[in-house]
Amino acid sequence: MRPKVENYDQDVQLVILRTARYDDAAENVEFGEISIFLAPAFVITVRQGVASDLRGARQRLEQRPELLAAGSPAALWAILDQVVDDYAPVVAGLEHDIDQVEATVFSGASAPTERIYSLRREATDFYRAVHPLLAVVTAIERANAAPQLQPYIRDVQDHLLLVNEEVAAQRDLLGTILEANMAVISVEQTDVSVQQNATVEQLTILATVFLPLTFVTGFFGQNFGWLVRHQDSLAAFVIFGIGGLVVPLALLAVWLRFRTPHTRTPAALDDH
């Protein structure tokens, strides 16, 4: 569910928070959810998925008796503060992964496109968890009448604004990296096509050269009587054998020379 605040009868509120944790081993972001039922006399939390550990929130709250005097809203602040503090390692983990992918792409080598898409999806999911929480914190700040809690809630809001800006910047940066990676892949594919075209051109030239030679040798290799009986001297071998191979090669060289378009030099272009 999206982070939100819903009011029920008898001064009961439901506050939905999205939690996030960066898994160093898998290098991805795991998300969870905390549902907070808030009333003047109690606070109940229901955690699902990878949720924040609230033991630290309780300990920090117990160390501030002046905040405990505010009642259940103080517990809500402690939970908010814990959830927002847990966002910082997620931002740092995503930043590290993005730096690695960015270094790979802008070094001229293509990064795995699937990895970039995965990071972009994680940044988008993280943004959906952080951005709606801004409105939730604002609503809690306006509804909370305890003056001693106002500075603490504003501090949580400041940290949340910073995280929201960083996540939005990371998502935009991943979009730029994805476009740059596609450009690098396109350049690599162009280089491969150029190499393939050069190879095909060389094979075509070799086939063109050997085609007339194959014809001549095949013609003189026929077992006709006049070829067998009359072409038996060295002169006949030189004229018909070697000459029959040299002449087609010479004609082919002349044809290729005049067939190839002439390129104009820069000096000739300057003269015009």
Per-residue pLDDT tens for 2-52?
A: 899 998 887 889 999 999 999 888 888 999 999 999 998 899 999 988 767
In a domain, 103, yes or no: yes
Residues 6+ apart with CB under 8 A from 220: 227, 231, 240, 241, 244
Number of domains in the chain: 2
In a domain, 205, yes or no: no
Residues 6+ apart with CB under 8 A from 203: none
In a domain, 270, yes or no: no
In a domain, 22, yes or no: no
**Same domain for 144 and 90:** yes
CA separation for the pair 206, 202 (Å, rounded): 6
| pLDDT surpasses 90 at 92 | yes
In a domain, 225, yes or no: yes
3-class state of residue 12 by DSSP: strand
Tokens at 94, concatenated:
């995503």
**Same domain for 114 and 71:** yes
**Same domain for 182 and 58:** yes
In a domain, 212, yes or no: no
| pLDDT surpasses 90 at 248 | no
**Which domain, by its residues, includes 72?**
54-191
**Same domain for 178 and 91:** yes
Percent of the chain whose predicted confidence (pLDDT) is above 70 = 83
Tokens at 265, concatenated:
């030099």
Q: Are 22 and 29 in contact (CB under 8 A)?
A: yes
| pLDDT surpasses 50 at 100 | yes
3-class state of residue 190 by DSSP: helix
Strand ranges across the sheet with 4-8: 4-8, 12-23, 28-39, 42-49
CA separation for the pair 48, 31 (Å, rounded): 9
Q: According to the model, what pLDDT value does residue 95 have?
A: 93
Q: Sort 51 into a burial class: Cβ within 10 Å, 0-12 / 13-18 / 19+.
A: buried
DSSP 111: P
**Same domain for 153 and 88:** yes
**Same domain for 187 and 136:** yes
Spatial CA neighbour of 158 closest among 93, 73, 88: 88
Q: Which of 38-42, 132-136, 162-166, 235-239 has the lowest mean pLDDT?
A: 235-239
Highest mean pLDDT among 122-131, 180-189, 202-211, 240-249: 122-131
